[in-house]
RNA sequence: GGCGCGUUCGUCUAGUGGCUAGGACACAGCCCUCUCAAGGCUGGUGCACGGGUUCGACUCCCGUACGCGCUGCCA
């Protein structure tokens, strides 16, 4: 009830000031990696502006004076770009409200500090500067959480916040507010961990005589075990998915589904459609657990939808980065080899294990497969396959299929009985691409050699 | 401890007083099949608990429990 009222109220305000542009920001600190939760926050900000037609600002909150800011910032920018979350203002591209690194905005903070001091809002405490709270109730009218009444009247439970350290460096609460004000941010969309900070931020806006922006606090993303996803957790950074060969569109789609839903049972939705449907009033309020399995499935959905050339390009890149000596093989060979893998793997990090046998003769044989298929009774069968193959003129998938089937019939066994030993002999694995096509790609010579090798090695 | 937020299958969610509580991932079985995928079919598990309000609560109110967040001279 409260929530709905709060929302209509907030949007009524928007309607009254149509002139003011919608401006949102993503304001990470340069930790050196893009957290998956941060990426989702950035994504929701981005979706919100793309839906309403506003500006998406990237601001780096580097008040901590870390070294290697360039490097740490690059990880974040790369992650955002990989996800397709382009910013309209910020590092690299500038804008009318820069600079976009807090470390370069000190004079601005000084001047606002002066204003606050002149207004009697600041006092010194052992060399640090604190903001004196007016000690009132502050109502946060949140677009996702509804109206929340915070009672800040008790100094014991809500001490005056520090805004500047004795060494002159700034505290997040202060610079964050100043920047949102100066950059004319209209909607602050951020993680729910900031909800309790919001009344304090509003106090600063008021002390400066400014209107606070609209707030929207989105639920946090948790680990499988219910704990907060932290840097140490596997899969907590976007980079992890880049390295594993996930598709950005799939990761982005998955992230959208955490705390937001199209409400019509669709899971795989293209980004244009999401932009069309997305709004703050259909963002959920409860925390979501990150489910790697579902992401993996969704990635497979996207992977299967890739065109042949897209798949080939991505697969080739992956093979090269995996150290496969690709130059030793003709392009046509590589192409047909990779084509047999299309639609079979959900993520590209599985590619090498799936098709490595195409690019080396020196592969391992799966032990369970050996125990199961390289049996005494299968020896004559594998020999029969070998002989049948050697008699073939054209070694194409159709011929191979026919040959295997007639061979099986002659032996009085099901085709599976000879398929498995053959696959194992030529690829070392009991899973893989379609055997008929795989054999065609490998070519008669290699196939016969590998069968011979298996025959002499295991029987 | 105080303050705040949350709680529908294991997980993500749909659901705004009357539904056999729907979908998806995962899981199990079956079908298809040269393996693996994919696809098809079937199955199981869910409204945290206790009070109200109401003719009737998953849905509204209160409390409890649990989870998470904030409570920093971190962001």
Q: What is the pLDDT along chain A (459 residues), one digit of tens a residue?
A: 233 333 333 333 444 444 579 999 999 999 889 999 999 999 999 999 999 999 999 999 998 666 678 888 999 999 999 999 999 999 999 999 989 999 999 999 999 999 999 999 999 999 999 999 999 999 999 999 999 999 999 998 899 999 999 999 999 999 999 999 999 999 999 999 999 999 999 999 999 999 999 999 999 998 887 777 877 788 899 999 999 999 999 999 999 999 999 999 999 999 999 999 999 999 999 999 999 999 999 999 999 999 999 999 999 999 999 999 888 899 999 999 999 999 999 999 999 999 999 999 999 999 999 999 999 999 999 999 999 999 999 999 999 999 999 999 999 999 999 999 999 999 999 999 999 999 999 999 999 999 999 999 888
- Give the nucleotide nearest to A158 (CA→C1'): B71
- Mapped onto helix, strand or coil, the DSSP state of residue A344 is coil
- Residue A331 to residue A300: CA distance in whole angstroms: 26
Q: Say how far A399 CA is from B31 C1', in Å.
A: 28
How far: A220 CA to B13 C1' (Å)? 16
Position A302 scores a pLDDT of 97
Query: What gap in Å lies between CA A154 and CA A241, rounded to an integer?
Result: 46
Nucleotide showing the shortest C1' distance to residue A145 CA: B5
Q: C1' nearest to CA of A341: which nucleotide?
A: B37
Q: Å between A287 CA and B7 C1'? A: 10
* Shortest CA to C1' contact from A192: nucleotide: B69
Q: How many Å apart are A3 CA and B17 C1'?
A: 19
Question: How far apart, in Å, do the first and last CA atoms of chain A sit?
Answer: 76
Cite the active site residues of A. 231
Positions on chain B within 7 A of a protein C-beta: 1-8, 10-16, 22-26, 34-38, 60-61, 67-75
Q: What is the pTM of this model?
A: 0.93
Nearest to A431 by CA among A379, A356, A359: A356
Q: Residues with Cβ < 8 Å from A300, sequence gap 6 or more?
A: A345, A346, A347
Comparing every residue's Cα with the C1' atom of nucleotide B6, the nearest one is A286
Residue A71's CB: how many other CB atoms inside 10 A? 11
DSSP A215-262: EEEEPPEE-TTSSBP-TTSTT-BHHHHHHTT--HHHHHHHHHTSSB--
Å from the A136 CA to the B54 C1': 39
* Residues across chain A: 459
Residue nearest to nucleotide B23 (CA to C1'): A265
Residue A43's φ and ψ, nearest 5 degrees, are -60, -45
Nearest nucleotide from residue A416 CA, by C1' atom = B34
| Closest residue to B4 (CA, C1′) | A196
Instruction: Give A88's Cβ-side CA count (13 Å radius).
Output: 17
- B30 C1' to A165 CA distance, Å: 68
User: Backbone phi, then psi, for A60, in 5-degree steps?
Assistant: -100, 120
What pLDDT is attached to residue A299?
97
Distance CA A441, CA A340 (A): 9
């Amino acid at each position: 009830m409260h929530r709905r009222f709060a929302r209509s109220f907030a949007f009524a305000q928007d309607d009254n000031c149509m002139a003011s542009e919608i401006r949102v920001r993503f304001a990470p600190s340069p930790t050196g990696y893009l957290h998956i939760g941060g990426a989702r926050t950035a994504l929701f900000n981005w979706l919100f502006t793309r839906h309403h037609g506003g500006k998406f600002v990237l601001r780096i909150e580097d008040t901590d004076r870390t070294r290697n800011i360039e490097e740490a910032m690059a990880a974040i920018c790369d992650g955002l770009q990989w996800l397709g979350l382009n910013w309209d203002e910020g590092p690299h591209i500038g804008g009318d409200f820069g600079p976009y690194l807090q470390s370069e905005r000190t004079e601005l903070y000084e001047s606002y500090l002066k204003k606050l001091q002149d207004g009697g809002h600041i006092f010194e405490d052992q060399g640090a500067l604190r903001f004196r709270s007016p000690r009132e109730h502050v109502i946060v009218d949140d677009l996702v959480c509804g109206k929340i009444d915070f009672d800040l009247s008790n100094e014991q439970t809500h001490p005056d916040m520090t805004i500047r350290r004795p060494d002159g460096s700034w505290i997040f609460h202060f610079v964050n507010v100043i920047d949102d004000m100066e950059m004319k941010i209209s909607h602050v969309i951020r993680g729910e961990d900031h909800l309790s900070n919001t009344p304090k931020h509003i106090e600063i806006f008021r002390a400066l005589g400014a209107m606070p922006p609209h707030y929207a606090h989105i639920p946090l993303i948790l680990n499988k075990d219910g704990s907060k996803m932290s840097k140490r957790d596997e899969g907590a950074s976007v980079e992890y998915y880049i390295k594993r060969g996930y598709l950005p569109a799939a990761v982005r789609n998955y992230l959208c589904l955490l705390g937001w839903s199209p409400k019509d049972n669709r899971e795989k939705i293209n980004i244009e459609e999401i932009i069309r449907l997305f709004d703050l009033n259909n963002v959920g309020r409860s925390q979501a657990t990150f489910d790697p399995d579902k992401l993996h499935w969704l990635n497979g959905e996207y992977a299967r939808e890739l065109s042949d050339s897209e798949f080939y390009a991505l697969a080739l890149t992956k093979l090269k980065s995996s150290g496969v000596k690709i130059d030793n093989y003709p392009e046509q060979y590589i192409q047909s080899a990779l084509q047999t893998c299309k639609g079979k793997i959900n993520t590209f990090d599985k590619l090498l294990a799936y098709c490595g046998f195409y690019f080396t003769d020196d592969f391992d044989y799966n032990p369970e497969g050996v125990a199961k298929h390289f049996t005494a009774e299968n020896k004559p069968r594998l020999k029969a396959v070998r002989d049948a193959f050697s008699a073939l003129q054209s070694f194409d998938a159709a011929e191979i299929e026919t040959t295997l089937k007639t061979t099986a019939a002659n032996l009085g066994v099901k085709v599976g009985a000879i398929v498995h030993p053959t696959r194992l002999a030529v690829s070392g694995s009991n899973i893989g691409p379609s055997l008929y096509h795989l054999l065609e790609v490998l070519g008669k010579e290699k196939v016969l050699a590998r069968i011979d090798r298996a025959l002499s090695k295991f029987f």
